Amino acid sequence: MRDGVSDGAELPRTSEACLYSHLITRPTGRAVRMGIEQGLVGQPGPLLTLVDFRNVAIIDFSCADEIVAKLAHTALSCTSPPLRFYLFTGLEEHHLDPVESALRRRSLAVTGERADGTPCLLGEADRRLRRPWALVGRLGRATPGALVPSCAATAHDARRLLEELHARRLLLRLAGEFLSLRAAASATAGGGQR
């Protein structure tokens, strides 16, 4: 960290947010999102928040829009430190349609994790980005050279893809490597910053 600006050489600080069981109105979704955002105020970064869906029995489109899409939008809008990343965990089949719809409507994507631990990329991301995202997810962390030739013709092309995934807050850049958000959360829990 230099003068409060992340140079991409540090693990994120992590926090966890557990959601309510019935998310069925826009005001409820707004209150949940504002609670998550309020918990991040004043925290040095980068920041990685795990948003846990395990206890969510029902989520409608308006709540998915207020919580998931607006958190993703805010993360992208925040160009000054601390950078924000969100990993949506505990996702079940009944969560996916409202979340996907809300994200696609706003041309956004987020990193998710199904209840069984399977990573998923939700929302608007083309195949050109999905392949390197999935490969980094399998590896946990990767350099651009690790993506050649499976996802890109050259290390330069791979770096551009990885930088785009980082800019969209779908991967974390750490000292020349790119980490999946799950790997970043695990590394943080295993002795990094918290």
> Nearest-CA neighbor of 118 among 143, 99, 101, 93?
93
- DSSP SS3 for 133: helix
The residues spanned by each domain of the chain are 13-187
Residue type, 150: S
Torsion, Cα 177 178 179 181, to 10 degrees, reads 150
Average of per-residue pLDDT values in the chain:
87
pLDDT in tens, 83-131: 899 999 999 999 999 999 999 999 999 999 999 999 999 999 999 999 9
Binned at pLDDT 50, 70 and 90, residue 21 comes out as confident
- pLDDT of 190 reads 58
Q: Does the pLDDT of residue 5 top 60, yes or no?
A: no
Cβ-in-10-Å burial (0-12, 13-18, 19+) of 101 comes to middle
Q: What is the pTM of this model?
A: 0.87
pLDDT in tens, 38-86: 888 888 778 999 999 999 999 999 999 999 999 999 999 876 778 899 9
C-alpha 23/C-alpha 133 separation (Å) is: 29
Residue type, 135: L
Chain centroid to CA 96: how far? 15
Spatial contact of 65 and 104, defined as CB atoms under 8 Å apart: no
Spatial contact of 85 and 75, defined as CB atoms under 8 Å apart: yes
C-alpha 176/C-alpha 124 separation (Å) is: 26
